[in-house]
Each structure stands twice: as structure tokens, then as C-alpha cells.
Structure 1
């Protein structure tokens, strides 16, 4: 695959892809990889340091930190990927409809997007959580209800760049159906933009869901989640600051991997960025010009 070959030339992007795949696989197979039950309470091991049996030590209830870290991938990363899929799907349907058909459809869809985007994302999410109640499921629903409008606007802008191309006009003139034109000619050329926009949004959504869990609005105890683990370690941050390192480093590494992967993917899919990068790497040759007196 050409995109894979272009993306694999970037070492940072390749390493980020491996990290992302490894994290996703660890979350999917958490019961097989976790060495202990993440909910098992052992007060005799309260705040125990790292050992061969408990590689990252134990928390305030004697629970295995490594096991909770692995199980925390599910709400912190896998749930975000599911929400992102639904948000992009809704945004893509409305964005294609607005950018391709234009007219009243475009006007109505964009006015609805303006209303949704007129409020800050955090405020809208907090309002929806306040109405639906505290919990991970309600936060995920709030994400879908607030994120789709931004994807719809971005995808509409991408579609508008191609709907007036000559081959699109020729397809319309030949009597090809709108669904066939969108499926055969519009989706393939806009897929790169959609992939870049979606991949660049994952990191921010992971930070948001961890932030809400840190505030106590997300997943509730005793379930494991990275933001909630940070909140639990906050109580002993001055006496045992090492308790904040595992969930904090997990968030930093995963979010950075998604951001680096998005940058690499954008460069691999956009030939203009690749050409500019090559030209930037090549230093111009300075030739001495003889001066005649």
C-alpha cells in the first residue's frame, strides 16, 4: 500500500504507530495481559513498592497498579476510538450532504453546526453530563453530540474543493447518480483529509475524558481509568509522588503517539508537504559569481 510505504519512511510515525497498535491490543486483551485482578483489595500491600510480583507496586487499597493501568486502556483509549468513529460517521454524512448538494441542505446543516459550535466544547459537555448524570456512558454520549458538528464543517470544506472539478461535472452530465458520484469520485479524494482530521482529534479527546474522570465526572470507582487513577494519587502526591507517574506517563505517551502519528499521516497523504520537506532538507548551493570591476 502506497500510504503505508510513505508513512513508514518517517521513523517517528512508525514508532508512534507501533505504540498505538500495542496499546490497543493491550486494551483488547487486558484479561490475558493483566497479572492480577485490578479490583482485588489487599490492605496488607497498601502503598507497597515495585516488586517482581507487582512491577509497578500497589495503590492505596493494595490493588495492582499495572493491572489497573492495562484495564484503564479500555475507557481511556478504546472508548474514545468508538466515540470518534460515531462522531466522524455522523459528521461525514452531513458534511458530504452539505458540500455536495449545497443550497438549502447546506444552509440548514451549517446553521445547526454554528449553533453547536457557538458554545465551548467543555461547557456543552458539562451541561449534557449535568442533564444525563455522572458516568462514562454519559460523557461518551456528550462527546458524540458535541464533536460531530466540527467534523461536519471540516469534511464539508474538503468536499467543496472537489465538487467543482471537471470530472465531477462530467459525471453529472453523463447522468450518473449522486450516490455513485460520491462513492466513486468524492469519498476517495477526501478520505485522506478525513483520516488526518480524525487521527489528530484522538489525543485531545483522550485528554478530555481523562480530565473529566479526574474531576469525578467520568468512570466511577472501583473501575480503573487513567484520569481517576491520577485523582486517587493526588491525595498522596506530596508523600508518595511516584503514585502519579504510571497513569500520568501513560496519558503523555499515548497522546504524544497519536499526535506524532497524525503528523506523519498528514505528510504521507499530502504530496505538497512531502515536497516542501524535501526542499527544506536540501540546502541551496551557493555559487560564487565573479564581479567585474
Structure 2
């Protein structure tokens, strides 16, 4: 049964990534095209999921929203990994006062809940998806930095690392050759588990009007637009809601499977 769920999760994740990459080619209509004469049309051969309160094709908007939501989540994870590996690797490998200073900076970010910090940073930077990506990355990178530092410290005095160092290789070569691979393997597991978490953050901020601005389609924006019609047309909330659910579930299942296979152990946040 577990294998079936993993296959389903992989299929769903790859399908969403495919949509993310090719949404403009797959959408039958312009996702932002307004046609008030066609508002609230039911599902049909021309509009697979019907139309919304402005007559926009829901299917096209859902595809476009997948591209924006998942693409922003991947961009956020990439930035988090970059900062986490850079800071955590430097702290663990260099050590001493550098380690102390960088870890105290991490402690500052740890002291504030990620949601509160993200909201604060969006308030400072301003609304928009780029600022949302920066804000969420800034509120999450410290956790990855701490994990990377612990990996580096556990490998720093390993025999093969010491042999490479005594052979005359530079510290940079030593880090790339002996430490970068296990760091990336561990971070890949953590990132796959965090994709769903990041998607929820992005959609939540967009729902509050802090992320993507109308008329652009994004899962949180679609739910926000449809909340006034929750009783008369609940399907307008159901479609983006089920997309978020499938995305979070799929990447969580994949992440847990990778965690079991690679023997990675994540700490409780």
C-alpha cells in the first residue's frame, strides 16, 4: 500500500512540475481574460471546470496558478538551500569566532516564529511575489544552516577528510570533495519535505493580499477571489484547495520516502 501511495505521489508531483513548466502552452484560454457575459458557466467541453465570477476560464487559471505557486516554492527552496549551505558550511568548516557569530545570527531568526517573521518582512519589503519569496527564505534559512553546520562538524574530523587535507588539497577542494555530497543529500530530503510547507506559506500570504496581485492567478488568490461565493459556487474554492492538498501530500510522501531510503533524520522544528 505504501508503494502505491509513493507511485501516486511521484506521478502527481511530476504532473505538477510539468504543468509548472508548460502552463502557457497547456491553457486553452488566457487565464486573465474577462468575459462577464460568460460568468459562472458550468463545466463544459469549452470550459472544462467552468468559469468564475468574471467569466475567466477556471481550468486555465488553475494551470497558471500551479505554475506561479509551485514555481515560487521552488525558487524559495533554492534560495533557502543556498543561504543554508553557505552560512552553515562556513560556520562548521571555519569554526572559531566565525562560527559563533553566524550561529548567534541564526539564533536571532530562530527566536521569532517563521510565519510572524515572514509577515513582518513582507510588511517591510512590500507586497509582491518576489518579496514573498525573499521573506519566506529569510525566515527559514537559519534552520538549514544549523543542519548543514552539524553535518560539517560530524564529518570534519573523519579519517578520509583528514587524509585529503594532509595530501595537500585546499580546504575548498576538501569541502567540495568530501562534505558537499552528504550535505546536498540531507538537504534534498529536508527540501522535499518543506515544499508543501512553503506552498502553504505562499498561498496563505497571497490569500491575505500580500503575494501575487489580481488578476494574476495563484492558488491563494483563487481561494480569496472565490470566498464570497463559497455557498453559491463552492467548486471555485474546491479546485485550488484540492490542488494545494495534492501538492502538499505528494511532496510530503516523497520526502518521507527519501528520508527512509537515505537514512536522513530531520529535527523537530
Fold match (TM-score > 0.5): yes
- For 1:71-125, what per-residue CA distance to the aligned partner results, in whole angstroms no more than 9, with x for missing partners? 0012210111012111101110111111122111111110010011211111111
Unaligned runs of at least 5 residues, structure 1: 1-8, 273-293
2:109 corresponds to: 116
Partner of 2:17: 24
Task: Say whether residues 1:91 and 2:91 are aligned partners.
Answer: no
Instruction: Please list the CA deviations of residues 189-220 of structure 1 after superposition, one character each: whole Å capped at 9, or x if unmatched.
Output: 33221111111111100001001111111111
Aligned to 2:146: 153
Determine if the alignment matches structure 1 residue 237 to structure 2 residue 230.
Answer: yes
Distance 2:166 2:142 in 1: 32
Higher mean displacement: 235-244 or 258-267: 235-244
**Which stretch has the larger CA shift, 239-248 or 48-57?**
239-248
Distance 1:155 1:74 in 2: 30
Q: Bigger CA drift: 178-187 or 62-71? A: 178-187
| Corresponding residue number in structure 2 for 1:175 | 168
Contact 2:189 2:264 (C-alpha < 8 Å) held by counterparts: no
Q: Spell out the pairing of 1:268-279 with structure 2 (5 A cutoff).
A: 268-270=261-263
User: Does structure 1 retain, via aligned residues, the 8 Å contact 2:72–2:129?
Assistant: no
User: Is the 2:41–2:51 contact (alpha carbons within 8 Å) kept by the matching residues of 1?
Assistant: yes
TM-score by length of 2: 0.93
Which residue number in structure 2 is paired with residue 61 of structure 1? 54
1:80 to 73, 84, 88: 73
- The Cα shift of 1:271 comes to 8.8
**After alignment, is 14-23 or 130-139 more displaced?**
14-23
Instruction: Output the CA distance in 2 between the equivalents of 1:184 and 1:119.
Output: 35
- Gap regions ≥5 residues in structure 2: none
Q: Count matched residues.
A: 264
Equivalent in the alignment of 2:197: 204
